[in-house]
Amino acid sequence: MSSGGAPALALRPLRGVVARAAGVMLAIAWAATPALAQQTTLDESDAVKCLTPAQNVRGAPEYPFVAYKTGETGRVSVQLAFMAPDAPPQVDLLTTVGDDSFVQSVRSFVEPFRVPCMRGADAPVRLRFDFVFKPDTRQVFVGRPADAGDADRRAKLACLQPMGGEALPSYPRAALERAIVGRVIVRFRFDAPDRAPAMEFYARPAARSLQRAVEDWGRKLRMPCLGNEPISLVQVHVFMIAGTAYGFKPGLDFRTLLVLMPVATRAAMPRDTTGMGCPFSVRLWYRQPDLPNHVFQVASQEAAREPFLRWLEGARLDVPEAMLDAIFGDTTTFEVPCLKIDPTPKKE
């Protein structure tokens, strides 16, 4: 056991475990008639994507010296209102825990933020940030920005409709005859209510023959309630054989996923989850290597988990190609336990 009561997990090759884990993480079965499914997710807003400084160089607010030395924890939630692409944001306090030194640190940190891609008609652009100051880990955690306009953009997805009325793409006859199944991920960007969207496609090599069906269907899509603000969304189209399924098995646990990752990936994982409000549940939409994984916090939201979530977005699984074909674009939900990683385990 490691300090703090959390179980220690050694980062060493686990001989035999990978093969056993691979056998329990995946289910594949086949039948004879076609079936299709679709899942839609709102993409990050343009404002979040173009926010400067960029996330990888943004850093974090400075921990107030007196608060740090006296072991005081702070929490600050703010909404930033951007009125112009080259102007500093207006800062509206939403919630605070701790003295005013935490607020001043956050104000200084966000003052250089800009949204260079915004247009005059977009103003105000409002982004929410959560900051957590934790003296026990000597860190300040910054939650990912949330665009206040996302609720309106999400509501507009309800008017998404294909001209001609086909709710889903057609299953290509040649693919069906050969029992080809797979998931096709597509990013749509709508810039006008009466025009087809721009499209970007991602699929495993075994499922590339299914991409054309999604592309033909996507050309008929319109979003008549769009208005003047572009909207980007991501869909996964699932081509399968009726009565069967493929992908992650239910009940998959975090340790099974972890041992299926390359050693270098496991070594890069944040070593201590005990300060993240553990245990906590995470939903992983596996999209590697074409796109970062999409990671959702289930139920509770906590800024201190951000380093773990960022790591999980880039995590890939080191499994056979056939298994990657089956899990690409699929989702799994698991609980992250309270644990500490031992980076230098003893040799067996």
Which pLDDT does position 23 carry in this prediction?
A: 55
Which pLDDT does position 13 carry in this prediction?
A: 38
Question: Measured in whole angstroms, how far is the alpha carbon of residue 28 from the centre of its chain?
Answer: 25
How far apart are the C-alpha atoms of 21 and 185, rounded to whole Å?
26
Which helix (H) or strand (E) element contains residue 176?
Answer: helix 173-177
- Give whole-number Cα distances, 35 to 32, 107, 175, 266, in Å: 10, 52, 12, 37
Which helix (H) or strand (E) element contains residue 249?
Answer: none
Q: Which two tokens stand for residue 234?
A: 């991501």
Per-residue model confidence as pLDDT tens for the chain (348 residues): 344 455 444 444 333 444 445 555 655 444 445 667 788 899 999 999 999 999 889 999 999 999 999 999 999 999 999 999 999 999 999 999 999 999 999 999 999 999 999 988 788 999 999 999 988 777 899 999 999 999 999 999 999 998 887 888 999 988 888 888 999 999 999 999 999 999 999 999 999 999 999 999 999 999 999 988 899 999 999 998 877 788 998 888 998 999 899 999 998 999 888 888 889 999 999 999 989 999 989 888 888 899 999 999 999 999 999 999 999 999 999 999 998 876 554 444
Q: Which two tokens stand for residue 98?
A: 């701790």
DSSP single-letter state for residue 337: P
**Contact between residue 259 and residue 20 where contact means Cβ atoms under 8 Å apart:** no
Which residue segments constitute the domains of the chain, with CATH numbers given? 3-29+248-342 (no CATH), 34-45+154-244 (3.30.2420.10), 49-148 (3.30.2420.10)
Which pLDDT does position 167 carry in this prediction?
A: 85
**Contact between residue 316 and residue 289 where contact means Cβ atoms under 8 Å apart:** yes
How far apart are the C-alpha atoms of 110 and 88, rounded to whole Å?
8
Confidence (pTM): 0.82
Which pLDDT does position 164 carry in this prediction?
A: 80
Which pLDDT does position 62 carry in this prediction?
A: 95
Omega before 124 within 30 of 0, i.e. cis: yes
Q: Which two tokens stand for residue 188?
A: 């749509």
Which pLDDT does position 18 carry in this prediction?
A: 44
Which pLDDT does position 279 carry in this prediction?
A: 92
Question: Count H helices, E strands: the chain?
Answer: 12, 18
Which pLDDT does position 36 carry in this prediction?
A: 74
Which pLDDT does position 31 carry in this prediction?
A: 42
Q: What would the 3-class secondary structure string for 17-52 be? A: HHHHHHHHHEEECCCCCEEEEEEEEECCCHHHHHCE
Positive or negative, the CA dihedral 268, 271, 276, 279 is: positive
